Amino acid sequence: MAEIVTAEELAREQEPRLITRHTFGVRVVHWWTTLTFLYLILSGFALGYPRMAWLLDVMGGGQSVRFVHPWVGVGFTVGLVFMFAMWLPSMRFHSVDRHWFRNLGEYVRTGHTDTDTDKFNGGQKAYYWFSVINGLVLLITGIPLWLPDLLPREWNLAARFSHHVFFLMAAGFLVVHVYLSTARFPGTFRSMTSGTVSRAWAAFHHPRWFRRVDAGREHEGAD
């Protein structure tokens, strides 16, 4: 006897196994901040460490790098403002994130917790807030280095020191971020290239978000 297939079952069967996680606009903003930030890190190392001075030649010479670095910093800040605005609704902490942080050890060991994670987990939210605050501090401390006559000498020294410390923190956390988004969790990187993830990836890493997307309550899941 022929099997009766409901319209709903048929639609589910024909549905692509991929779901949208990040829209084109979100990806453009993310890669804009990434490219500008990578330039800032490389030029920052070149300007800040005599041993890395050879990088200055590769990047067009000391004078050019000194001129371009602050302007790229402005471009990075603009990207960060967009990043702040586009992800703010998804990045507020909720009680479920407390559960994620309590199980951080398990997450580090196994790459998973039984938290009913929404679009972003507690660690991702923490990285977002770190990036926003860090970007703000780099801007505030970078201005006196750009315009040295603005403030007294002692303030400039304090700005130089803080700019350096926050720069190193940003570089360190970026390494962790890249590792987690690529090698540690396969299937994540594609969310920032094609914008899609598999349904299995979504259900495993972000079950609460996945249920919402699956039930059609959030259009395709994208921000």
For ligand HEM, the binding residues (CB under 6 A) are 21, 30, 33-34, 37, 120, 124, 127-128, 131, 174, 177-178, 181-182, 188-189, 191-192
Determine the distance from the C-alpha atom of residue 154 to the mean position of all C-alpha atoms in its chain, rounded to a whole number: 34
**Residue 40 or 47 with smaller CB distance to ligand HEM:** 40
Q: Check residue 44 and report its DSSP letter.
A: H
Question: Of 81, 53, 67, 49, which is closest to residue 168 (Cα–Cα)?
Answer: 49
CB of 13 to ligand HEM, least distance (A): 27
Helices (H), the chain: 7-14, 24-48, 54-58, 62-87, 95-102, 104-110, 122-146, 153-179, 199-205, 207-214
**Residue 5 or 165 with smaller CB distance to ligand HEM:** 165
CB of 21 to ligand HEM, least distance (A): 5
**Residue 10 or 118 with smaller CB distance to ligand HEM:** 118
CB of 122 to ligand HEM, least distance (A): 11
**Residue 151 or 180 with smaller CB distance to ligand HEM:** 180
CB of 23 to ligand HEM, least distance (A): 12
- DSSP bridge partners of 18: 198
Q: What distance in Å separates the CA atoms of residue 189 and residue 178, rounded to the nearest whole number?
A: 9
Residue positions counted in the chain: 223
**Residue 144 or 195 with smaller CB distance to ligand HEM:** 195
CB of 148 to ligand HEM, least distance (A): 26
